[in-house]
Structure 1
């Protein structure tokens, strides 16, 4: 099968013919019909996250936002069958650790991050293998396309979990989203659907225009104002109730915290780059004086995908609205390079692999 393989960090991926996977006893093989190209792939391509034990190695197939159909299952698999239309979460769990058993498989004690370690090669390929298939694969509703559902593997479900499960959004609450990449734009759409009044913050007008299309009632171009938190404070008449850093750099994390009002909630979704290496300075005194909550949020348990599907069925959520374009496998390196300067808008999705 064809796959885009990492040879050297920061260099174009090699389009190679590699062996197609066979299912392990508890695993399944998915024929990939669509896969999003995510900023997390960019981090892997750059060789980031060594401080998390996730520095990708040569020979790795990246890609962690796939959707497609199951073509083979192992003999121990009971709930997944050949022909099932599925999405694959990026944070694969073992299904048996205490976190998985409590319904928190997104923080599995033996997590297998799809496309970042040798044991789980990614979805920039015609096929991929998914371990513990009964636990990790999510059956998609009838009538949806793999392209429209590709973002469910990471960005869309990550934003949904952060806002619907980790934060406490009430009707009419001000929600400030800092960074309007794929995660941020998904968050804008989701926060709007959950009843929030969204302020979107970014450096690029085209991303802010897209945020308005997805439900933002106000936008702030961070390149055009001297005081981003002050601007958000003014718009929200005293500070947002919830703010999200959807990028993962020190500036957006600090701006997110400082844009909150008293007893606000900061949601950290973006992971850091080589500049921060996981450590960010924060206005701790202000957080204490205002009783601000700092909340981390990672992925989403597959058992809760039905919440998204129910909102999709009634038209309240449209994951496809965040998909910006479809590309071929050979175009992935160009998209990763464009992400270096934040030049992509929304979610690019691979839909041609041969």
Structure 2
């Protein structure tokens, strides 16, 4: 099969013919038709995260991508939920045990036995990929391959983060919240999802073009980062939550400054570890009652909830670049330089 392969960390990917994988027990082989490109791909490609790099090297993983859409071509022993010909997604969560405390509590995201696509097993920037049947969401016929691909990570990650405002932070609809990095691949979904949930959305990004894009996708207020804190404090006395999607510590600093007492900071974006830590002091936590939540990707039932919003026309994937697999290095370069607004998708 054809695949984009890491030959050396941070060097251009090589398009090669490699052996097609075979599904094991409970797994299916998916013929990939579209694969979204995520900023996480950049960090993995460069080897920015030492623990992830270590796992990839340990398992011999050299194919990135975790936003795949395709059709089941083969099924492994014991597969009962899926059958050949089903159209499914191949997201970041590739498998989990289903029996540990995290899984039984509804949080398989933190299962100690979880298998991640492009970390423990090769990813979707290839003609074929493997996934366990319980982790493969079925794609509604109303959603095309290219639009569905970014939902596998960016869409469901944004959905899970906004969902936490209701389920864990207990912030009722109608309250003002900030989306930091609102024009990005994840942020642009979060703006739409938060509006669908009924929040007053302050979409924050940098630069006139990105701010105009945030306004276009439906934010109640589209604001440049340099004036966001002042606006939030003067207009609302601060926001009830800041959901941070930008991979910059500066975005976290801004999110904290925009909060009102008892506000919630939801952490999604992953800055390079070289940027340091979030400047959250115990005095701030105690004095303002600040709450901090981490949010990561999604699992099968969250995909189904997100798909309902997409089919209803309340959430749309903004795809600004569609390219062939052979153009992946160009997309990586533009994504790394912050030139892609919305999402980029590879057709395979």
For the criterion TM > 0.5, the same-fold answer is yes
2:27 paired residue number: 27
- Structure 2: distance between partners of 1:52 and 1:122: 14
1:204 paired residue number: 207
After the TM superposition, which residues 140-219 of structure 1 pair with which residues of structure 2 at under 5 Å, given as runs?
140-165=139-164, 166-179=168-181, 180-219=183-222
After the TM superposition, which residues 1-354 of structure 1 pair with which residues of structure 2 at under 5 Å, given as runs?
1-51=1-51, 56-57=56-57, 60-98=62-100, 99-117=102-120, 120-130=121-131, 132-133=132-133, 135-165=134-164, 166-179=168-181, 180-222=183-225, 225=226, 228-234=228-234, 236-276=235-275, 279-318=277-316, 320=317, 322-351=318-347, 353=348
Where in structure 1 are there 5+ consecutive unaligned residues?
A: none
Q: CA RMSD in A?
A: 1.9
Q: What TM-score do you get using the length of structure 2 for normalisation?
A: 0.92
Tell me the secondary structure at the aligned position of residue 139 of structure 1: coil
Q: Is the 8 A contact 1:28 1:74 kept in 2?
A: yes
Runs of 4+ in 1 over 6 A off after TM superposition: none
- Structure 2: distance between partners of 1:47 and 1:294: 27
- Structure 2: distance between partners of 1:63 and 1:37: 7
Tell me the secondary structure at the aligned position of residue 138 of structure 1: coil
- Structure having the larger proportion of residues in helix: 2
Where in structure 2 are there 5+ consecutive unaligned residues?
A: none
Is the alpha carbon distance of 1:244 and 1:8 closer, same or farther for their aligned partners in structure 2, counting shifts above 3 Å?
Answer: same
Is the alpha carbon distance of 1:184 and 1:283 closer, same or farther for their aligned partners in structure 2, counting shifts above 3 Å?
Answer: farther
- Structure 1: distance between partners of 2:173 and 2:130: 42
- Structure 1: distance between partners of 2:304 and 2:46: 34
- Superposed CA deviations along residues 40-89 of structure 1, whole A, max 9, x for unmatched, are 00111111111456675486100011111111010211111111111122
* Shift in Å, 1:348: 0.4
